[in-house]
Structure 1
Amino acid sequence: MDEVPPSKSLWQYISAYWTMLCEMYYNKPISHWILLFLSSMGMLVPFPASSLLSRLYFANGGKSKWIISWVSVAGWPMVAIVLIPSYFFLKVFPTPLDLKLTLSYVVLGFLSAADNLMYAYAYAYLPASTAALLASSSLVFSALFGYVLVKNTMNLSIINSIVIITAAMTIIALDSNSDRYGYITDRQYIIGFVWDILGSALHGLIFALSELVFVKLLGKRSFLVVLEQQLMVSLFAFIFTTIGLVMSNGFHGMKSEASTFKGGENAYYSVIIWGIITFQLGVLGATAVVFLSSTVLAGVLNAVRVPITSIAAVILLHDPMSGFKILSLIITFWGFGSYIYGSYSPAKNEAPRTIS
Structure 2
Amino acid sequence: MGEIQEVQLQIKCQESKEVSAAKTGSEEPTSTSPTKASKDYNWWLRVTVYAFLLISGQSVATLLGELYYDKGGNSKWMATFVQSAGFPVLFIPLIVVRVYLTPPTSSTTTITTKYSPSVSTLALLYLSLGVLIAGNGMLYSYGLLYLPVSTYSLLCATQLVFNAIFSFFINSQKFTAFIFNSLILLTLAVVLLAVNTDPSDSKTVSGGKYAIGFICTLSASAGYSLLLSLTQLSFEKVIKKETISAVLEMSISTSVVSTCTCLVGLFASGDWRRLKNELNEYGEGGVSYVMTLVWIAVTWQVSSVGILGLVFEASSLFSNVISTLGLPIVPIFSVIFFHDTLNGVKIVAMLLSLWGFVSYIYQHYLDDCKAKETNKHS
Q: TM-score range by the shorter chain?
A: 0.7 to 0.9
Task: Give the TM-score taking structure 1 as reference length.
Answer: 0.84
1:237 aligns with 2:248: no
* SS of corresponding position for 2:242: coil
State how far apart, in whole Å, the 2-side matches of 1:108 and 1:335 are.
Answer: 29
| CA displacement at 1:258 relative to structure 2 | 1.0
- Match 1:335 to one of 356, 365, 375: 356
1:51 aligns with 2:62: yes
Aligned pairs (5 A) from 1:200-215: 200-215=221-236
| CA displacement at 1:120 relative to structure 2 | 0.3
1:191 aligns with 2:212: yes
Percent identity over the alignment is: 29
Equivalent pair of 1:180/1:189 in contact (CA under 8 Å): no
The residue type paired with residue 227 of structure 2 is: I
* SS of corresponding position for 1:72: coil
The residue type paired with residue 245 of structure 2 is: L
| CA displacement at 1:241 relative to structure 2 | 1.1
| CA displacement at 1:216 relative to structure 2 | 1.4
> Relative to structure 1, is the Cα distance of residues 341 and 252 closer, same or farther in structure 2, using a 3 angstrom cutoff?
same
* SS of corresponding position for 1:73: coil
Gaps of 5+ in 1: 1-22, 352-356
1:110 aligns with 2:127: no
* SS of corresponding position for 1:261: coil
| CA displacement at 1:143 relative to structure 2 | 1.3
- Match 1:69 to one of 57, 76, 80: 80
Task: Note the aligned Cα RMSD (angstroms).
Answer: 2.6
| CA displacement at 1:26 relative to structure 2 | 3.3
Which 10-residue stretch deviates more, 71-80 or 203-212?
71-80
The residue type paired with residue 130 of structure 1 is: T
| CA displacement at 1:92 relative to structure 2 | 6.9
State how far apart, in whole Å, the 1-side matches of 2:352 and 2:37 are.
Answer: 34
Question: 1:62-88 CA distances to partner (integer Å, 9 max, x unpaired)?
Answer: 111111000101101122332244334
1:299 aligns with 2:304: no
Aligned residues: 329
Equivalent pair of 2:231/2:311 in contact (CA under 8 Å): no
* SS of corresponding position for 2:129: helix
Question: 1:247-298 CA distances to partner (integer Å, 9 max, x unpaired)?
Answer: 1233332211011111221221121111111111222233344455544442
- Match 1:272 to one of 293, 296, 311: 293
Equivalent pair of 1:122/1:196 in contact (CA under 8 Å): yes
Task: Give the TM-score taking structure 2 as reference length.
Answer: 0.80
1:166 aligns with 2:187: yes
The residue type paired with residue 67 of structure 1 is: M
Considering only CA atoms, is the larger Rg found in Structure 1 or Structure 2?
Answer: 2
The residue type paired with residue 194 of structure 1 is: I
Question: 1:293-333 CA distances to partner (integer Å, 9 max, x unpaired)?
Answer: 54444222111110111211122111111111111111111
State how far apart, in whole Å, the 1-side matches of 2:260 and 2:244 are.
Answer: 24
The residue type paired with residue 64 of structure 2 is: L
State how far apart, in whole Å, the 1-side matches of 2:264 and 2:116 are.
Answer: 27
Gaps of 5+ in 2: 1-33, 105-114, 373-378
Equivalent pair of 1:178/1:320 in contact (CA under 8 Å): no
- Match 1:252 to one of 273, 277, 291: 273
* SS of corresponding position for 2:328: helix
* SS of corresponding position for 2:205: coil
* SS of corresponding position for 1:151: coil
> Relative to structure 1, is the Cα distance of residues 266 and 24 closer, same or farther in structure 2, using a 3 angstrom cutoff?
farther
The residue type paired with residue 185 of structure 1 is: S
1:38 aligns to what?
49
